[in-house]
A = this chain, B = another copy of it.
Amino acid sequence: MEKPLILMTNDDGITAPGLRNLVRFISEIGDVVVVAPDSPQSGMGHAITINNTLYATKMTTVDEDGAKAEYSCSGTPADCVKLGLQELLERKPDICLSGINHGSNASINVIYSGTMSAAIEAGIEGIPAIGFSLCDYTWKADFSHAKEFVQNIVREALENGIPPGVVLNVNIPKLEKHEIKGIKICRQARANWKEKFDKRTSPMGKDYYWLTGEFELLDKGEDTDEWALANDYISVVPTQFDLTAHHSIQQLNSWDL
């Protein structure tokens, strides 16, 4: 049987340990082609590059992790997927994987996530797709405990297919392997970020701000991704890009428009 062809990207950049680990884990399953940003793109959401040129440079130095080919791209994660699918891969991939992100993309973070935007872009183009994130923001994060879980999820996705119009948002708690209790299919917890802007004055006398904030969980449901992570489970949220709030169409039809 032909090995599956796997398009891989991320939003922390092509040199990020989370991506290097994912390449190593997944090279055991299929032929991996990496198309990843040449610099960190965290917080980029679903940005695409429409008023600027895009570069993709074939790398020869990073393939020791087992990828068939790797390209470093000047664009966003969504750009990487578009360019990979249209220009760089020789055929339609069997699956697209994004990550492993350094930091959680659970709950409302999915909206700001470059990692998930890449997976969603692939989903829009009809490719099964999964975004992986580890709940550890540090560059030196330990990904080793994730290996078997990640491989298992990818194998199941290749075997069963992912429902059309859906991509998976997988978050992995920062734990030892034996501490992880299993994998839970969840819904996205309601939450937001309580912003705090750190206001400063430049040496030239101009005010500026740093965006900082605190995560505020608004949802105690035991079927949520935040609950799963807090209780030592890996969370899997089926995530869709039909944003229609179907349940409120009727209510809006009562407006006098």
Contact = CB atoms under 8 A, between A and B. Distances in A.
Given A78-B112, A156-B257, 16 more contacts: A44-B47, A48-B112, A49-B211, A56-B207, A87-B199, A108-B241, A110-B243, A111-B243, A152-B257, A156-B256, A169-B243, A187-B246, A237-B243, A239-B244, A240-B245, A243-B243
Interface in A227-256: 236-246, 248-249, 251-256
Interface string A44-63: 11111111011110000000
Contact of A111 (B46, B208, B211): B46
A45 B43 contact: no
20 contacts: A43-B47, A45-B78, A45-B117, A47-B47, A54-B208, A56-B207, A56-B209, A110-B243, A163-B251, A165-B190, A166-B248, A168-B252, A185-B253, A186-B249, A188-B243, A238-B248, A238-B252, A240-B243, A240-B245, A243-B243
Q: How many copies does the complex hold?
A: 2
Given A48-B43, A124-B108, A239 B245 contact: yes
Given A156-B255, A244-B238, A87 B210 contact: no
A125 B192 contact: yes
B244 A160 contact: no
A85 B82 CA distance: 34
Contacts of A83: 197, 209, 211
Nearest to A184: B257
Contacts of A195: 82, 85-86
Interface in A81-129: 82-83, 85-87, 108, 110-112, 117, 120, 124-126
Given A83-B209, A199-B87, A45 B42 contact: no
A175 interface: no
A196 interface: yes
A153 interface: yes
A239 B244 CA distance: 5
Given A111-B241, A185-B252, A188-B243, A210 B46 contact: no
